[in-house]
Amino acid sequence: MPLIQNLNYSRPKWLFNSHLETIYPALFRKVVFRNPEKERINTPDGDFLELDWYKNGKDKLLIISHGLEGNSERAYMLGMAKSFYENQFDVLTWNFRGCGERMNEQLIFYHSGATYDLDAVVSHAGKNYKEVYLVGFSLGGNLTLKFLGEKKSDLPKLKKAVAISVPLHLGSSSEKISSPENTLYSKRFLRTLKEKVILKSQAHPGQMPIDALKNIKTLADFDDYFTGPLHGFADAQEYYEVNSSIFFLDQIKIPTLILNAQNDPFLSENCYPNELAESLDQVFFEYPKHGGHVGFTPKDSNHSYYSEQRAIEFITKGF
C-alpha cells in the first residue's frame, strides 16, 4: 500500500527538536478523565493481568496497549482512551505483567512479542462486543502488529488497528536507543527494569541471575541476560529476530495504520520500510516529519494530540 502523504501535523515552535517533542508530553502532559472500572483476569499459566475499563454501553471496543515500562495510567494512554470514549467507544487499557499495581506472580515479565497476553485480553474483553479495534504505542505497537500477523483472519470481530511510534525492527532500534544521544532515555528504562529484576528475585530466590545486573550497560545487555533467557530465547539477538513485527506485516489481514515520526529518536532506519510498504495490501504507513517518540503535541493545547486525531480518523472514517 502506498505511503499516506499526510502533511497535517505541525509541531509547536517551542518543541524545536525530537527530544523536546518526546520528553515534554511524557513529563508534563496531564489528562483529566473519569476513573476506570478495574478488573483483574487470570492467565492460563497461573498469572494475572490488570485491566482498566471505560464503559459507554456501546457495542464497539477499543483496546490500548502501552509502551516499554509504561502502564495504563500514562498520559498518552488516557489521552487516547478519552478521545475514543468521547467518540462513542467503550475503551479498555491494560497493564503488561509487572507494570500494574502489583508485581506479577510468574518468573516471566512482559516483552515485545508476548502476544499470548494480548490474546488473553482480546478474548476476554471482546466477547460481549460486535466490533473490536486495537491501538498500540511503541513496544505495545510492536506487540499489536505481531499479534495481528499471527492471528491473520482468526478473529472476525477485529476490524482495524493503529500502531504508533513502533520499533518495527527490534535489534536495530535497541542499538539506536542505546546510542550516546539517547543516554537519558536508556538509563531511565534500565533503572526501572533493574528494580523489577531485584523485586522478582526476592519472590523467586535463586532463579534470577541477579549478579549479572552489574554487567548491564545497555538495553541489549538487559535483553541478553534477562528478557531473552527468561522468555525462552537464547539471547537478545534471537529475541529481537523472533519478535520484530516487521516480519509479520505481510500476514496482517485487517486495515492497519503505522504512524512513525521521521524524527523519532528511538527508531532505526529499518522502522521506515518504504519498499515493503508498497507491497502490502492492508498495512498503511504514515511518516510525519515531526512528532518525536509517542509525542505529536498539538500547537493548541485545547486540541487533541495528532496521534489521537489520526487514530480516530483511520478507525472511524478510513485512510
Is 165 among the residues known to form the active site? no
Nearest Cα residue to 147 out of 114, 172, 187, 125? 114
Write down the catalytic residue from 65, 165, 293, 307. Answer: 293
Is 264 among the residues known to form the active site? yes
Write down the catalytic residue from 52, 117, 224, 264. Answer: 264
DSSP the chain: -PPP--------TT--SHHHHHHHHHHH-----PPPEEEEEE-TTS-EEEEEEE--S-SEEEEEE--TT--TTSHHHHHHHHHHHTTT-EEEEEE-TTSSSS--SSS----TT-HHHHHHHHHHHGGG-SEEEEEEETHHHHHHHHHHHHHTTS-TTEEEEEEES--SSHHHHHHHHTSGGGHHHHHHHHHHHHHHHHHHHHHSTTSS-GGGGGG--SHHHHIIIIIHHHTT-SSHHHHHHHH-GGGTGGG--S-EEEE--TT-TT--GGG--HHHHHH-SSEEEE--S--TTTT---SSTTSPPHHHHHHHHHHHT--
Write down the catalytic residue from 65, 112, 138, 174. Answer: 138
Is 138 among the residues known to form the active site? yes
Q: Which residues are designated catalytic?
A: 138, 264, 293
